[in-house]
A and B are shown apart, each in its own frame.
Chain A
């Protein structure tokens, strides 16, 4: 079961065991992780579930689609090379420990 650590801008961490088949966003929302707003519920419509992955870790997830790429240009917090929308980060059995950083603003 993938273990995902959410790191807040102030360093506070939340560690969740999330089921394969879910997404980083669903896990965060269900647990009420601060800073993952996900207003559209994971439909690639809002860019409010923006997270920063750890360098290189983005590779374990499915590649970014054009829609995600364009939405990431509209995030409230600055976009970085490691930016992803957490609704697009699907969790699979093979994943072990993942770390994502939550930005300071989403809306």
Chain B
């Protein structure tokens, strides 16, 4: 970064705010500017599909940082404005109101948007998705009078929404083309447990079913037709069928994209003055092969911390263990690691009291999914981060304790297992 020049961040979500905070903490004194498309100051998204829909929090509770936070740290927050053009050669970013911002380093924290529903009738009134606070406000109002609620997509958002419906006395139908809930994001035992609980709470779950058309009268949705001919009444339809990373600005500026903005293990694009972090960044998987893109608060915040360190002179590769959570009614799911490609699972605990599923790939523990068992999750994060070996045999011993294993490993000499089997692209092997 050239001296005296500033950092401009496109986006004002979790990653952007964390970056600003971490830059200042690390002593960065240049200008820091966040450009957010939404008209309001940065807010937390995870509660939108949970506490907010359930009526437990207000928009004020969702604010990520108070106004004084930005003022105190000399962070310029431009909201309600969109970046429309990136001139990399001139290091200038143009906004939709004509303003031009010069930068020393540009950070793309553009996030992702809901994948549109690719069937006729998706534009009818009463069909919506859940991405912004505005969306959540609209859904909350509609829920008051809706009779037949249909959720398309049994992923995290769809199921969290279904749980919120249940809390308000509405029994939704949740449909998915896949055969299990939460797709490939969780193991079969966790998926089965959640499916069973949602059904017990009154949700009608239709798996392996394909919607083909939404129909209505007077522009308002009234029914959903399925591929097998069945038609379901629907006066409110919510879609949660994944997201698309916002890569357009990067693409137009000639940067490489592939389900996300392509970055190296230092979160840099091919342009040394441009980085990408958060939901929009496709980065080399430090524990696997190829690139991944993660949609989580943890990933956004940790990538921001990692990039802030690099921009202030202490570059390190991004290798943080991913973790996620979901909250569905009284079910709390916490995932440490990525279970992608697991070939063996061991379950510990009881479904009614809380349990954890340990996912192995080729004999190595790759992820732990905990349901109402937070201590397992915390211990699993430490084990996985430290690369401490746990075998299926260990876990089948009733006397085995994750925490004891951690303590034992801490007492023994460090034995760090190399787990990076991939070939990170980009330059500069650390």
Contact = CB atoms under 8 A, between A and B. Distances in A.
Interface of B: 21, 25, 44, 46-47, 61, 63-66, 68-69, 72-73, 297-298, 301, 325, 327, 332, 334, 374-375, 377-379, 382, 403
Given A39-B298, A43-B325, A26 B61 contact: yes
A32 interface: yes
A30 B66 contact: yes
Interface residues of A, number: 20
B69 A31 contact: yes
B341 to A, nearest CB: 25
B69 A32 contact: yes
Contacts of A44: 332, 374
Nearest to A22: B61
A74 to B, nearest CB: 3
A14 to B, nearest CB: 10
A41 B52 CA distance: 13
A30 B47 CA distance: 15
Contacts of A26: 61
Contacts of B332: 43-45
Contact of B382 (A31, A71, A74): A74
Given A30-B69, A45-B332, 6 more contacts: A29-B64, A31-B68, A32-B73, A34-B25, A44-B332, A45-B334
Contacts of B382: 74
A70 B46 contact: no
19 contacts: A30-B66, A31-B69, A32-B73, A37-B301, A39-B298, A41-B46, A41-B47, A43-B325, A43-B332, A45-B325, A45-B334, A45-B377, A46-B325, A46-B378, A70-B374, A70-B375, A71-B374, A71-B375, A73-B375
A47 B378 CA distance: 8
SS of B interface (majority): helix
Contacts of B297: 39-41
B68 to A, nearest CB: 7
A74 B375 contact: yes
A43 B375 CA distance: 14
A86 to B, nearest CB: 15
Interface-central residue, A26, A67, A71, A74, by most chain B CB under 10 Å? A74
Contacts, number: 54
Nearest to B50: A43
Contacts of A43: 325, 327, 332
B141 to A, nearest CB: 23
Given A45-B325, A70-B374, A31 B66 contact: yes
Interface string A1-45: 000000000000000000000000010011110100101110111
A51 B36 CA distance: 32
Contacts of A31: 65-66, 68-69
Contacts of B44: 41
Nearest to A68: B374
A37 B21 CA distance: 11
B350 to A, nearest CB: 16
A32 B66 contact: yes
Contacts of B379: 74
A32 B403 CA distance: 32
A26 B298 CA distance: 18
Given A40-B325, A43-B325, A67 B69 contact: no
